Structure 1
Amino acid sequence: MNLLAHLHLSTGQPVAMAAGNLLADFMRRFGATDIDPEFAAGVRLHRAIDVFTDSHPLIRAARRLIAPPRNRLAGIIIDIALDHQLSRHWNAHAALPLTTFVRARLAEIQAYLAAHDTPLNWVIRRAIRDDWLLSYATLAGLDLTFERVASRAPVAAALRGATADIARHDAHFQQLFHAFYPALRAHAAQTHAALAV
């Protein structure tokens, strides 16, 4: 799952844990360290979500939908495709409207990070400024998302144009989301309970 799902799977959790779950993938890149025990628990939750997702039979089967040259990046494409589906079916999984939820939760995380000297402050400012999490809702937003990811490393350049894969297999990704996301939510809730500090 990508950023939107990680934030959604932190609903009801302390802001520090939500920050760790949301930003775990950026820690190594920016040389960030755990801020406090709740943040560290959020990072562990993020990793547990990723392991569950990547090893799930439905996700593994979906990797076959992505043709060369992007097939080696299928995991990233599927994660973003599922965030696209979450955006589209948000009201079935959340009490607050998508925009309200994202803006409020990111503002809480930004305020939390501002109290700490961490390079992750830059990430959250960019996520808010460029509406990263709201961009998953449209195909044009997915193009921007893939461009952003592709610009980070030459190996990811094949992600440019991956929106076409998502659009081509929209019905399959929609079925995949409806079959997989409830299981992921249950797994995240169990993991959160085990990690509670």
Structure 2
Amino acid sequence: MNFLFHIYLSKNDPEEMIGNFLGDFVKAGQEDIFPENIRKGIFLHRKIDAFSMKNSTFKNSKNRFPKEIKRYSGIAVDVIYDHFLAKHFSKIAGEDLLEFTQRFYELLSPIEPKPGRLKDIFPFLKSENWLYRYREPEYIDFVFKRISNRFKRDSSLSHCYPIFRKNYNQFEQDFWQFLPQIEEYVKSLTSSQLSASHSPLRL
């Protein structure tokens, strides 16, 4: 769910950036329809997700949620980290967030077919500029509720916003600890590791 974080981590390679974004929409075994560098981005996406789930800082953020809603805390932390990346984007990435998101939408627009639910949400993703609006703390409440509606059962994500606001400073500290760790991990990956044989199929 951390769309902005994924594309930021591949910002120097347009095709890899597209693939890193598509990782949430492409099922294992469906990567072959895409060019090589987009496939690498998809596999990088899975590597990043696997690293995050095992990372101690990410786990600390998850543990800030009470037990009764902890099942979906990983999704909540993904969204929260995207908020702080958006908030501090110009400082971290050295470019304007609005320009960055518009450039990414232009890269993604011609990709066909758009996999999974992306074909349905892309018009709204672009017209409402979801990635840019992540910088607004209040928008995170809307994101939690939107994701929660995708689940047949109450996912408790709709109850995560008050915990986010109550622990805002602590989550922000977690984000600043996590950022250099994930950046260093991505830099350490070799091209051979970003292939189907080296990438986790399910997380």
Question: Into which bin does the TM-score normalised by the smaller protein fall?
Answer: 0.7 to 0.9
What's the TM-score once normalised by structure 1's chain length? Answer: 0.87
TM-score in terms of structure 2 length: 0.84
Instruction: Deviation per CA, 1:135-193: give whole Å up to 9, x if none.
Output: 21112211221122111112453111322111111111111111110111121222265
1:33 positional shift: 4.5
Instruction: Measure the CA separation in 2 of the matches of 1:3 and 1:121.
Output: 15
Classify 1:194/1:168 alpha carbon distance in 2 versus 1 (closer, same or farther; 3 Å).
farther
- For the pair 1:82 / 2:81, whether they are aligned, the reply is yes
5 Å-filtered alignment, 1:141-180, equals 141-155=139-153, 157-180=155-178
Aligned residues: 192
* 1:1-197 equivalences in 2 (<5 Å): 2-13=2-13, 15-28=14-27, 33-34=31-32, 35-111=34-110, 113=111, 116-119=112-115, 120-155=118-153, 157-191=155-189, 194=192
Structure 2, gaps ≥5 residues long: 196-203
The 1:26–1:77 alpha-carbon spacing in structure 2 relative to 1, beyond 3 Å, is same
Instruction: Specify the SS of the correspondent of 1:69.
Output: helix
Percent identity, aligned pairs only, is 24
Report deviation, 1:90: 1.3
> The residue matched to 1:154 in structure 2 has which SS?
coil
Where does the alignment leave 5 or more consecutive residues of structure 1 unmatched?
none
Distance 1:155 1:33, change over 3 A: farther
Structure 2 residue identity aligned to 1:36: P
1:94-115 CA distance string (max 9 Å, x none): 121111111111211213x0xx
Q: Please say if residues 73 and 156 of structure 1, whose CA atoms lie closer than 8 Å, have aligned partners that are also in contact.
A: no
Write 1 or 2 for the structure with the bigger share of helix: 1
Provide the aligned C-alpha RMSD in A: 2.4
Distance 2:169 2:133 in 1: 20
Rounded Cα–Cα distance in structure 2 between residues aligned with 1:47 and 1:196 = 9
